[in-house]
Chain A
Amino acid sequence: MELPDSTAPLAARASRESECDAHRAPRDLQRALLLILATLWLLDAVLQVQPSMFTPGPSGLSGMLNSSASANPGWIAHTITWNASIFYHHPVLANTLCAVVQFSIAFGIVSKRTCKPALALSIAWALGVWWFGEGLGAIFTGGATPLRGGPGGALFYVLLAVLLWPSEGSDQPFVAARTVGPKAARVIWITAWALMSLLTVVGSGRSPRALHDLVARMNSGQPGWLAAIDRHAALLLLHDGTPLAVSLGVLCIVVAGAILLPPTLTRVALVLAIAVFASIWVATQNFGGILAVGATDPNSGPLVVVLALTYWPLTAARATPNATAPDSVVVAKVT
C-alpha cells in the first residue's frame, strides 16, 4: 500500500527529524507527573457530567453525598447533609459547577501560566470533596482502610498538588523533593504511609466480615471478569481478612521507612507498593466503580501509584531539569 508523506521534501524531512528529536528529548519529570495529575482531573471532570450525576432527588448525587454522612460525628454529618441538600434541590446547577471547576483544574494544570492557580484551586477543591463528598475519608467512622481508598482519594490530590508545585531546581534525590526539599518530602512520605498503615488495622479495617462486605457491595453492575475477581477477593477477605490487613499494614510501614534506605532498596519497596496498590485498585476498589455506573473518581489506587513515582530515586544525570531547556527556549520565543 502506498502511504503518503509530506508533499514538500523539506517539510517531510523536518517532520521526521522533529519526531525523532521529540522522542530523544527527555521530558521534565515534574512536568510529566503534573500531566498525569491533569489527566486524572480530566477523568474526574468527565465522570462528573455522567447522566446519573444530574438526577434529582435521593437517587442522584445528593443521595451519594448523604450516604457519606452516616456514622460520622453529628456536627460533621450535619455539614455533609447540608451540602447534599444543595445538590438535592439544584442538581443540574450544582453538578455543572462541580464539572466546570474540575475541567478548569485539568486544563489549568497543563498551561504553565495557570498551573499554580489551578493547583491551588485543586487543593481547596479536593479538601472540600474530602469533607463533603467522602465524609473525611471515613476516618471518624473506622472504615478508612486503604483497601477502600482510605484516608480518602481526595487527600492524595492535595498531597500531589503540594509535592508537584512547579519550581526550578534539581529533582534529586526524587521529584517530590524539588519543591519542598528532601527533608520535608521524606516527612510527608513517612506520615502518609504510617497513616495508611494505621488505618489498615483500626476500626473495621481488620474485620473479615467488613472487608468481605466492602468488596461484595462493589460487585453490583461490574463486568463479568471484574465480578469474578470480586468474588474471589471477597472470599479471601472473609477467610483471611485479618492477616491480610495486618500484612498490608506492615507493608505500609516498610514502604514508609524505605525512603530512608539506599536508592536500590527504595526502588524495590516502591515497585512493591505500586504492585500492591495497583492490585488493590482492581480487586477491592474496582477502578473506583467506574466500570459500573455513578463513580465520581477513580479512587486512591492510581494516585498512590503517582505518589510513589514522585519519590522514585533518580540518578544525578536524570535529575537535572535542564534537560528540558530547549523547550523553555522555544516557549520564550513563541510567547
Chain B
Amino acid sequence: MTMTPSWLYYLCAVLMLAAAAYCLISLIVKAATHRGSGWDIDIAHTFMGVSMAGMSVAQWAFGARVMWEIIFAVLLTWFLARTLQSVRHHGVHLSHFLVHAAMSLAMLLMFRFPVRVRGGSPTGSMSLSSAASRLDPGLAFVLVLIFFASAILTLDSSARGASHHTPRGSTSAMSASGRPGSAPIQSERRFGRAGGVRGLADAPRLEDASHVLLCILMGFLLIVMI
C-alpha cells in the first residue's frame, strides 16, 4: 500500500498558490501601469497555479473540468500563435513561448485524463490511481523533461542577471549586443525604480522564480500521474 504524505501535497498547493498570487499581482500592476509585455504569461501562470493547487488538495479545487479544459486549450492556441509570431520575426529558433505552450498542453492533458482520488480524503492525502483512459506516460515524461530543462535554463539566465522571459528583456543579451540605447530599459526592469507592490511585480527574478516553481511542480504532478 502506498502511503502518501499529505503535507507534501499541501506544501505543493501552497507553493502553487504563492506563484499564482505573484503572477496575479504582476498582472494587475501591468494593467494599472498600461504595460503590455508579459501579461499573457502572467495569466497562464495564474490559472496554472490555481488549478494545480486544486489537483494537489482536493477540497481546494473549484470550477468545472470542462471550464479548465477550455481555458488551457485557449492558452495553448495563444502560445502556439505567439511562437509562430516569434519565429516569423526572428527566424527559426526555440521560442520561450513554446515552453508556455507545452505547459498549457500539460494542463490540458491533466484535466483531460484526470487521476481518481481514491477515498477522496479531504486532507489531500491522495492515493492516485489511473483512470480508465490514461495519459500516455511517454508523453508525460517528455513534458517533464521539457519543464525541468526550462526550469534549469531559467535559473541559469537568472543567475547571469537576465530574465529567461526574453520578451520582457534580457540583460545579458542586450548588453552583449553593445547597444547603449537598450541599457536604461534593462536597468529599470532589473532593479525596478518603483518600490512597493509595483517594484515587486517588476522583479525579473520573481518572475523567473514563479516560472521555475510551476515547471517543477507541474513535472512532479505529471510524474505522480504516471
Contact = CB atoms under 8 A, between A and B. Distances in A.
Nearest to B179: A17
A290 B174 CA distance: 40
A56 B1 CA distance: 9
A100 B82 CA distance: 37
Contacts of A6: 36-37, 167
Interface stretch (A104-112, A116-124, A133-141, A199-207): A104-112
Nearest to B40: A4
Contact of B138 (A14, A42, A223): A223
Contacts of A60: 3
Contacts of A92: 5
Given A51-B224, A110-B156, A23 B161 contact: no
Contacts of B65: none
A121 B197 CA distance: 38
A225 interface: yes
B223 A50 contact: yes
Contacts, number: 176
B176 A51 contact: no
B176 A327 contact: yes
Contact of B177 (A17, A54, A107, A287): A17
A3 B81 contact: yes
Which DSSP category, helix, strand, loop or mixed, fits chain A's interface? helix
A60 B1 CA distance: 9
Contacts of B177: 17-18, 21
B219 interface: yes
B175 to A, nearest CB: 5
A35 B164 CA distance: 14
Contact of B90 (A19, A38, A327): A19
Contacts of B85: 3
B145 A43 contact: yes
Interface string B74-116: 0000000110011001110101000000000000000000000
A47 interface: yes
B173 A18 contact: yes
A17 B182 CA distance: 9
Nearest to A95: B5
B26 interface: no
Given A7-B34, A19-B86, A291 B141 contact: yes
B13 interface: no
Given A15-B169, A18-B182, A38-B152, A290 B226 contact: yes
Interface residues of A, number: 60
Interface in A279-335: 287, 290-291, 293, 326-327, 329-331, 333-335
Given A46-B148, A52-B2, A291-B138, A18 B169 contact: yes
A4 B41 CA distance: 12
Contact of A112 (B4, B5, B36, B159): B159
Interface of A: 1, 3-8, 10-11, 14-23, 25, 31, 35-36, 38-39, 42-43, 46-47, 49-52, 54-56, 59-60, 92, 106-107, 110-112, 222-223, 225-226, 287, 290-291, 293, 326-327, 329-331, 333-335
Interface of B: 1-5, 8, 34-37, 39-40, 81-82, 85-86, 89-91, 93, 95, 126-128, 136-138, 141, 144-145, 148-149, 151-153, 155-156, 159-162, 166-177, 179, 181-182, 185-186, 190, 216, 219-220, 223-224, 226
24 contacts: A3-B81, A4-B36, A8-B185, A10-B185, A14-B181, A17-B179, A19-B86, A21-B177, A22-B170, A22-B172, A23-B93, A35-B156, A39-B149, A46-B148, A46-B216, A54-B5, A56-B3, A110-B156, A223-B138, A225-B138, A287-B141, A326-B176, A327-B172, A331-B172
